[in-house]
A = this chain, B = another copy of it.
Amino acid sequence: MLEVTSINCGIVIDHINCGNGQKIFEKLNLGNVDFPVVLLMNVPSKKLGKKDIIKIENKIDLNLDMLGLIDSDITINIIENGNISKKMNVDIPKKVSGLFKCENPRCISNSDIYATPTFTLVNKNKNKIKYQCNYCDDFTYFNQR
């Protein structure tokens, strides 16, 4: 069985639903860093059956809105001196700005570079998360599973 030993100082993103690990890995741009990182996919989990895990042997800034948007089931562990110094959960963000585009091709936010696409959460069902655009009122959808 594939396991990774604990890290000394850094971040562990745990309980990632299978398939979302690679998305988070890419969004955090971990393919272009020079410190040790590990992406584990489809490893056994008591809670989820199978899960993905990301281990980062460094402190980096995390955009919790972005993480909550991709997978709100994740647990973030901050590791210091080999121990968990902080445990965090994330939520599907109620307000989102600049993280995704409006699905309405005629929305002003898709053509005006000064109009940062901004949305308000309408429905937080993880299979069909629904955001309303603050500019055109159209809906944009996400699926976390």
Contacts and interface: CB of A to CB of B under 8 A. Distances in A.
Contacts of A105: none
Given A2-B5, A3-B5, A5-B3, A37 B41 contact: yes
A7 to B, nearest CB: 6
Contacts of A3: 4-5
A43 B5 CA distance: 13
Chain A, interface size category, equals: 20 to 34
Nearest to A23: B31
Given A4-B2, A5-B5, A38 B39 contact: yes
Interface in A35-56: 35-44, 50, 55
A117 to B, nearest CB: 27
A34 interface: yes
A130 to B, nearest CB: 27
Given A22-B31, A31-B22, A2 B57 contact: yes
Contact of A41 (B4, B31, B40): B31
Contacts of A7: 1-2
Top 6 closest pairs, chain A to chain B, by CB? A39-B39, A22-B31, A3-B5, A2-B36, A36-B42, A4-B4
Given A1-B57, A4-B4, A35-B42, 19 more contacts: A1-B5, A1-B7, A1-B36, A2-B5, A2-B7, A2-B37, A2-B38, A3-B5, A4-B5, A5-B5, A18-B34, A22-B31, A31-B41, A36-B40, A36-B44, A37-B42, A38-B38, A38-B39, A38-B40
